[in-house]
Amino acid sequence: MQKIDWFILKRSVNGDLSEDERRELDAWIKASGDNERYYRKMEKFFIRGQKREIDVSRNFKRFVAQAYGRRRRVVRNILKYAAAVVFFVGGVVFLQEMKFGSDDANGKQAALAPGMGKAVLYTGSGQMIALENREQRDIIIVDSLRVEQDHDLLNYEGIETSGKVVDEMHSMRVPRGGEFSMKLSDGTMVYLNAETNLRYPIRFNGEERRVKLSGEAYFDVMKSDKPFIVEVDGFEVKVLGTRFNIQAYGDETRFKTTLEQGSVEVHVEGNKMLLEPGEQAVLTKDGELTKRKVDVSLYTAWKDGNLVFEDERLEDVMNTVARWYDIKVFYTNQDVKNVRINGNICRFKDFSVLLEKIEKLDIVHFEIKENVITVTSK
């Protein structure tokens, strides 16, 4: 994939390109389907940045305060530093300016393309509909229902139903290398990360609003007198109106519920734990439930296009990366899994560039063959 300057990408969203820059961008987009897909994804990323705020990891708040600040300022400053990778392990800091795309100058690492908006919708009647990011707002026919799709958002709010389908359940499954979002019939927004499944009714008609989750999702729950309940394997999260993130992958040893705003109740086998903003409930596979204070941005940055790690084990970092980039990871040395990682990167970048930065620490080595990464110690 050819390189394109991030400044051009950003200015194109704001309509500030010169004629020469417009011609350069148009030629880059038309050069390949990958280029066009990357541009649409980054276009959405910049637009989101104009609407949302995001904090950065407290480990490097002072370091990147002038660069990142709030996301509104990020866009105004043309993501001047968001085009950079900030990564440090064991106190060593790396800051590398990168252009969009990678050129593998040494031929050492193969490209690892990021995920994209895609999912599969399963209806109560057994219909299966493949969903992809659409350039324009559209209507898709789901059984006898007309559901609106806008880019990678499926919207059930205001949907017209007949009595025959009013209690129907749908499931949205996001594969590895994918993400999708949806607005439920009550107006609740749900952002689904890679390898995630959400089961939900097309309308909430009972005394509660209940959905079932496996994987990871961020919920912005519309306030209502009816409690909103997220059912996960082993526990439930109950709210009235709030914003929170649940990470509950079956292959992980801990399930995490992180509260950004409002309050939630975490229920486990008759026990109840109340969370306040900035707190996280952690449930182990053994059924132990604990609560701790956290930097919420570490656990919600993914929905805004970032991967943020703070003192994370390399194995946990690679698990997160593997889902998003749809890769497999193998370790020749078990000890290397415990290398501690801190960092923040845009998750729409070619990840092989980041691996090369980590390799410069002379602690680990990554070998990439197609979609398989082998990690060895040095």
Give the Cα separation of 163 and 288 in Å (integer).
43
Phi and psi at residue 93, to the nearest 5° = -105, 135
Structure confidence at residue 291 as a pLDDT band (50, 70, 90):
very high
What is the structure's pLDDT at 192?
Answer: 97
| Pair of tokens at residue 203 | 């309308």
Give the Cα separation of 226 and 206 in Å (integer).
9
Taking CA 356 as the corner, what is the angle to CA 351 and CA 357, rounded to the nearest 5 degrees? 100
Q: Looking at the predicted structure, is the pLDDT value of residue 186 above 80? A: yes
Residue by residue, DSSP assigns 161-200 as: --TTTTT-EEEEEE-TTEEEEEE-TTS-EEEE-SSEEEEE
What is the structure's pLDDT at 139?
Answer: 75
pTM value is 0.72
What is the structure's pLDDT at 84?
Answer: 43
- Cβ atoms within 10 Å of 108's Cβ, excluding its own: 13
pLDDT, tens digit, 9 for 90 and up, residues 108-149? 455 678 888 999 999 888 888 898 876 666 777 676 677 888
Give the Cα separation of 86 and 14 in Å (integer).
26
Q: Any idea where the domains of the chain sit in the sequence? A: 6-97, 116-299, 308-377
Give the Cα separation of 240 and 144 in Å (integer).
31
Residue with tokens 């006898």: 144
Sign of the torsion formed by the C-alpha atoms of 71, 77, 82 and 88: negative
Q: Any idea of the CA torsion for 51, 101, 117, 283, to the nearest 10 degrees? A: -80
Of the given ranges (28-42, 269-283, 347-361), which has the lowest mean pLDDT?
28-42
| Percent helix / strand / coil, the chain, rounded to 5 | 25, 40, 35
| Pair of tokens at residue 252 | 């992980």
Query: What 8-state DSSP symbol labels residue 330?
Result: E
CATH code at 308-377 = 3.55.50.30
Residue 349: closest CA among 109, 93, 25, 98:
98
> Which CATH entry fits the domain spanning 116-299: 2.60.120.280, 2.130.10.10, 2.60.120.1440, 1.10.150.170?
2.60.120.1440
What is the structure's pLDDT at 14?
Answer: 62
Taking CA 191 as the corner, what is the angle to CA 159 and CA 70, rounded to the nearest 5 degrees? 125
Asked if 247 and 255 count as a contact pair (C-beta separation under 8 A), the reply is: yes
Q: Looking at the predicted structure, is the pLDDT value of residue 366 above 60? A: yes
| Pair of tokens at residue 135 | 């350039």
What is the structure's pLDDT at 97?
Answer: 35
Give the Cα separation of 376 and 361 in Å (integer).
13
